[in-house]
Amino acid sequence: MRSVFFPRLVNGAYGDPALYVHLAYRGEALLFDCGDLHLLSPGELLKTRVLFLSHAHIDHLVGFDLLLRTFLARDLTLLMYGPAGLADQMAARLKGYTWNLVDGYPFELTVREWLPEGIREVTFPAGDAFHPHAERLIPCDNGILHTTPWYRVRAVPLEHGDIVSLAFSLEEPLHVAIHKDALERFGFATGPWLGRFKDLVLQGSDPDTQLSVPLTRGGRQAVPLSTLRRHIASTERGMKIVYVTDCSPIFRNFRRILELAADAHLLTIEAVFLHRDLERARLRNHLTAWQAGRLARLAGAARMRVFHHSPRYQREPGILEREARAAFSGNQKPL
């Protein structure tokens, strides 16, 4: 399967949590948590369309001001999802600045917080000094926060001490694979039209829709969507990336993580402490590396990436990764 999601831990395993996911062929990206973002270029920041925040601890939100400053004078909307209370937290944060020179600025921040009864949406227009506007309640079924024809994001609440931390799955509803040998056989040239073809398939468009296909010998040919789908492409289960951080090492959380991460192509999961320090992990409400690897194995994840390491292990390079990998490969005992 050719990847359509390109995930990157902005600050590596020891830095602030921030998973930047570039969406292939879309010219846009998603952010899962918003720790320090200085390693992202302005162009990468501006590609961000949706931010999914697990919770509002400082190491997960400290990068927001850089994101805000980058977007401020742009004609863009940034959509932000998070747990209950997020809209009020962002209102207080925005109120901490002076906004007397933003009249006419088109940028808007839209905050959506997940509540038991649905999603509360509050809009903060820059041009009105970020005063909250247009509050409404949006239905939310089965934890699905955000849906497009190309992906959907689902959340589950995890316990992080006495607060909620959200875990997220990013899923492609259907993967459309293009067969290059078929393109060559029919004399079809590659190009942007293939992106439009994939979009039409994912949107369930009329099979008789005509596409203008460029030819390798020059010129173009009108071809029905149904013909193209039959001859140059196949479909399969879409990609699935899961992001889990800041959760207490308790059975209720384990059960929810396993449900969310089942058969993931990639599970990105915190591994804060070594299992020999389990009591500290329980005190700080974080997973151990062995627990992270074990959860990835039990979920049937194809790949695992661990992060959010405690700095106490920096003098033992790679030890958290090794413990997580040992558990992922079936080792029944921690290092």
Domain ranges of the chain: 1-173+240-245, 175-236, 247-335
Res 335 pLDDT > 80: no
Res 2 pLDDT > 90: no
Res 281 pLDDT > 80: yes
pLDDT of residue 193: 87
Q: Are 246 and 270 in contact (CB under 8 A)?
A: yes
Q: Are 179 and 232 in contact (CB under 8 A)?
A: yes
- How far is it, in rounded angstroms, from Cα 211 to Cα 214? 10
pTM of the model: 0.90
**170-212 confidence digits (pLDDT tens):** 999 887 888 889 898 999 998 888 878 888 888 888 889 998 9
Burial of 74-111, coded b for 16+ CB within 10 Å and e otherwise, reads eeeebbbbbbeebbebbeeebeeeebeebeebebbbbb
- How far is it, in rounded angstroms, from Cα 323 to Cα 335? 6
Res 1 pLDDT > 70: no
Arch. (CATH architecture) of 1-173+240-245: 4-Layer Sandwich (3.60)
Q: Are 274 and 320 in contact (CB under 8 A)?
A: yes
- How far is it, in rounded angstroms, from Cα 302 to Cα 264? 6
- Which residues are within 8 A (CB) of 318 and not within 5 positions of it... i.e. 6 or more apart? none
**Dihedral Cα 2, 146, 243, 45, nearest 10 deg:** 80
pLDDT of residue 233: 87
pLDDT of residue 300: 98
Q: What are phi and psi for residue 31, nearest 5 degrees?
A: -120, 130
Q: Are 16 and 53 in contact (CB under 8 A)?
A: no
Structure tokens at 321: 């990764």
Res 130 pLDDT > 80: yes
Please name the residue that has the structure tokens 């789908």. 229
pLDDT of residue 15: 97
Structure tokens at 208: 């008789």
